[in-house]
Amino acid sequence: MKQMTLLIAGLFLLSPAFADEESVYNRVSISAEASAEVENDTLFAELYIEHQAKTAAGAAEVVNAAIEWGLKQAQSVKGIKVRTLEYNTTPVYSKARKAGEVYTPQIMEWRVNQAMRVESTDADALSELITGLQEQLAIRQIGYEVSKALREATESVLIDEAILAYQQRAQQVAKGFGHDNYKLVQVNINSGGMRPPVPYQARSMAMEAAAASPVAIDAGTSTLKITVNGTIELQ
């Protein structure tokens, strides 16, 4: 009698697990998306300076002065956003004179570099600024992108469209499998689709000064996309 009681209790303990396992049989993973093509309304550029000297302090002095000058130039133009980027200081070692020679590296000089980024929705004003900055700085990258304000406004509309598309697809799947309805189990909403910036082959600052003009590139468009994916349970 005692043995039978234990067996029945065991069945009651296992039954919820069986119920949970059975419920996942009607689950389906689906996805939907909404996208829009928008104008790239922001021109940006990354400019840098690199200098090598016998001491780190000597190299840094030249780099710091050039970046400080660049920041002042950018800050004097209305509507221009500017910020500094990475700052690197690295030693330059001597090289072995002969093959097989016992070589003990010696620091010969120091190399310092830093970059800055400028951006604006006023392409004409920024183009003129970039031209002037090339007196002391070299262009590392330049391109167009979608501004934060335009991206957020567009994505706000796309979210509603993507959710509606997901709901319609979920209802279609449910009916296709002979069910009247469904319930959400898990949903993820993701954004993406920005166009990558246009790469720019950096040249020496002497070449930049001689050219004294930014690269002519078309603003073009970017495709913004909202994706909704997740799991539904057919009912």
CATH number, domain with residue 104:
3.30.70.2970
Spatial separation of the C-alpha atoms in residues 230 and 167, rounded to whole Å: 11
Q: Judge whether 79 lies within some domain.
A: yes
Per-residue pLDDT, 16: 47
Per-residue pLDDT, 12: 35
Surface-to-core class of residue 114, CB atoms within 10 Å of its CB (0-12 exposed, 13-18 middle, 19+ buried): buried
Q: Alpha helix locations (H) across the chain?
A: 2-23, 56-75, 123-133, 148-176, 205-211
8 A C-beta contact, residue 108 and residue 93: yes
Q: Judge whether 3 lies within some domain.
A: no
Per-residue pLDDT, 24: 67
Q: Judge whether 201 lies within some domain.
A: yes
Q: Which residues form the domain of 119?
A: 42-146+196-213
Spatial separation of the C-alpha atoms in residues 212 and 203, rounded to whole Å: 12
Give the CA angle between residues 165, 167, 169 to the nearest 5°: 70
Per-residue pLDDT, 25: 80
Q: Judge whether 82 lies within some domain.
A: yes
For residue 189, the cross-strand partners are 228
Q: Judge whether 12 lies within some domain.
A: no
* Residue partners of 224: CB distance under 8 A and separation at least 6: 35, 36, 37, 38, 146, 151, 154, 155, 158, 191, 193, 194
Per-residue pLDDT, 77: 96
Per-residue pLDDT, 216: 66
Q: Judge whether 180 lies within some domain.
A: no
CA 102 to chain centre: 46
Residue ranges, the chain, pLDDT below 70: 1-24, 96-100, 194-216
Report how many domains make up the chain: 1
Q: Judge whether 172 lies within some domain.
A: no
pTM of the model: 0.72
Spatial separation of the C-alpha atoms in residues 175 and 90, rounded to whole Å: 65
Give the tens place of pLDDT for each residue, 149-198: 999 999 999 999 999 999 999 999 999 999 999 999 999 999 987 665 55
Per-residue pLDDT, 14: 39
Q: Judge whether 151 lies within some domain.
A: no
